[in-house]
Amino acid sequence: AKGQKLVKTIPADVTTTAARDWTVAGTSVPKVNGRDFVTGKHQYTTDMRREGMLYGRIVRPSALEAKLVSSDTKAAEAMPGVVVVRDGDFIGVTAPDRETAFRAEKAIAVHWQAPGQPGNDELFAYLKKHAVDGRARPVGSIAGGMAVADKKLSQTYNIAYIAHAPLEPRAAVAEWNDGKLTVWTGTQRPFGVRSELAEAFHIPEEKIRVIVPDTGSGYGGKHTGECAIEAARLARASGKPVKLVWTREEEFNWAYFRPAGVIEVNSGVKNDGTVTAWEFHNYNSGGSGIQVKYDFPNQDIQFHNSNSPLRQGSYRALAATANHFAREVHMDELAQLVNFDTLQFRLKNIKDARLKAVLEAAADKFGWSSKKTEGRGRGIACGFEKGSYIATAAEVSVDAKTGRVKIERVVESFECGAIVNQLHLHNQVEGAVVQAIGGALFESIQFKNGQILNGKFSQYRLPRFSDMPVIDIVLLDRKDLPSAGAGETPIVGLAPAISNAIFDLTRVRIRSLPLAPDGIVNRG
């Protein structure tokens, strides 16, 4: 722009081209510079170099909420080129190279004091105990719906904390010039990071520039600016640009997690398959995707905030995964209660044409009406979030001797209005299914007294190539509807479909995520 302000007023009566008349949108245009991403040529924050740049490290507390009692920095300060930065409980170092920075960090003797904190064993009781009242917007009457029900069902569903585990840990390069700050960092929220920097250093936002190189995955985990603030603190103290890259252990231990949760569902159903009452309480995990698209005449759906023992925040699809898991497993349980096929039970309680369309599309592609494969279980789930509709059908096997779960096949149908780029949409949906495997089967943060117990890739189980099922994606292109986002909603259907498939095969009903933390189903 060469310093020019490029300003144009957009008239209020501008019309957009109808989807049926698109010529570029609606086609699978290849990604620009896609080859550079595959070959490693593309540059990220971790690849950056600035003239005179130093490398930073932070001395981390012994546990969450720990307070610094004492420190001895003499050994680190004696190292050539090392600067130690101390500010309250914050201790960091800068050095001419990465290896020296690591050595300096380890040379600092610190004593921390940490309060006793809850662990996995107490988690769900703790969340329920520390919850506050939700905001109720009831529809109809739960008491009236229960009164006309032939059968009633009350169940509780638990959701574990899970980590984002991005390929690129948090990274930032910070540089001060004449009281102005420039930070390069991988973030999903640059303006939010700028505000955090302004608050941290008590300077106007106009003096801060946040530049975002492409980010090596985020999944909702890179909204906050802690790494940027740390790099800027080190850069200001040393008077030179500083690069700070978190280690994998730091990413697991000090980033925030997808919230854990407890979900309680009370429902009533008639013998003809009509759901008459739906009472749903989510404690802590969040309100996204909590509302239903089923035709339930009597509803009371509430989200209750709680005091989380671990740091928590956004994760791909937010709480929609938790809420869909509880809802769609409970729907399966209701279907079983009144002896209905789970697909037909759902269809009986759906009036929304778009939800019905994705459900029928998935069932048709899956071959739901055909005979089941011997030794396989099958399950189905559907839902709605962020303007998009999803249905997932899954087939699993369970080794008769070991109880090991294997997802054999997944069919996912997805509708987000008019499709802009079919190939990219297909990749988004398929990628969401792959990521969902971890949270469904085995991802879970283990913790005790403010310490993460499985904070390494060697200890935290993620999906592997050997876990991959056959995946079929069915995309419904609705050119008569506005396009909606597709990056999050496709992840929500797998966990309930897998849980329902495991029950179909083993008659073991699992109401907690992950379903098989050791890869094994406990047959009781």
Q: Dihedral through CA 327, CA 332, CA 333, CA 335, nearest 10?
A: 120
Q: N- to C-terminal Cα distance for the chain? A: 67
Whether 319 contacts 258, CB under 8 Å: no
- Cα distance between residue 510 and residue 503, in whole Å: 8
pLDDT of 522 reads: 65
pLDDT of 49 reads: 94
**Tokens for 502?**
């495991």
- Cα distance between residue 420 and residue 415, in whole Å: 12
- Cα distance between residue 164 and residue 170, in whole Å: 11
pLDDT of 216 reads: 86
Q: How many CA atoms lie within 13 A of 476 on its CB side?
A: 25
pLDDT of 524 reads: 41
Average pLDDT for 110-120: 95
Q: What is the pLDDT of residues 239-257, one digit of tens each?
A: 999 999 999 999 999 999 9
Cα three-residue angle 342-320-259, rounded to 5 degrees: 125
Beta bridge partners of 58: 92
pLDDT of 248 reads: 96
Average pLDDT for 419-423: 96
Q: What is the pLDDT of residues 302-361, one digit of tens each?
A: 999 999 999 999 999 999 999 999 999 999 999 999 999 999 999 999 999 999 999 999
pTM: 0.95
**Beta 470-476 vs 405-415: how paired, if at all?**
parallel
What would you measure as the largest C-alpha separation in the chain, in angstroms?
A: 79
Q: What is the pLDDT of residues 49-104, one digit of tens each?
A: 999 999 999 999 999 999 999 999 999 999 999 999 999 999 999 999 999 999 99
**Tokens for 434?**
């792959």
Whether 361 contacts 392, CB under 8 Å: no
CA distances from 356 to 253, 359, 511 (A): 42, 5, 25
- Cα distance between residue 498 and residue 511, in whole Å: 11
Confidence label for 235 from pLDDT (cuts 50, 70 and 90):
very high
What 8-state DSSP symbol labels residue 45?
G
- Cα distance between residue 357 and residue 350, in whole Å: 10
Whether 28 contacts 423, CB under 8 Å: yes
The DSSP string of 222-246 is: --S-HHHHHHHHHHHHHTS-EEEE-
Instruction: Please check the confidence at residue 146 and state whether its pLDDT lies above 60.
Output: yes
Q: When comparing pLDDT for 29 and 104, which is higher? A: 104
**Phi/psi at 245 (nearest 5 deg)?**
-125, 120
Instruction: Please check the confidence at residue 16 and state whether its pLDDT lies above 90.
Output: no
Beta bridge partners of 393: 380, 411
Phi-psi region of 507 (alpha: psi -120 to 50; beta: other; left: phi over 0): left
Q: What is the pLDDT of residues 363-404, one digit of tens each?
A: 999 999 999 999 999 999 999 999 999 999 999 999 988 999
Q: What is the pLDDT of residues 448-487, one digit of tens each?
A: 999 999 999 999 999 999 999 999 999 999 999 999 999 9
At position 393, the amino acid (one-letter code) is A
pLDDT of 439 reads: 97
Q: What is the pLDDT of residues 156-207, one digit of tens each?
A: 999 999 999 999 999 999 999 999 999 999 999 999 999 999 999 999 999 9
Q: What is the pLDDT of residues 275-308, one digit of tens each?
A: 999 999 999 999 999 999 999 999 999 999 999 9
The DSSP string of 260-319 is: PEEEEEEEEE-TTS-EEEEEEEEESS-STT-S--S--SSEEEEEE----SS-B---TTTT
**Tokens for 377?**
């279980």
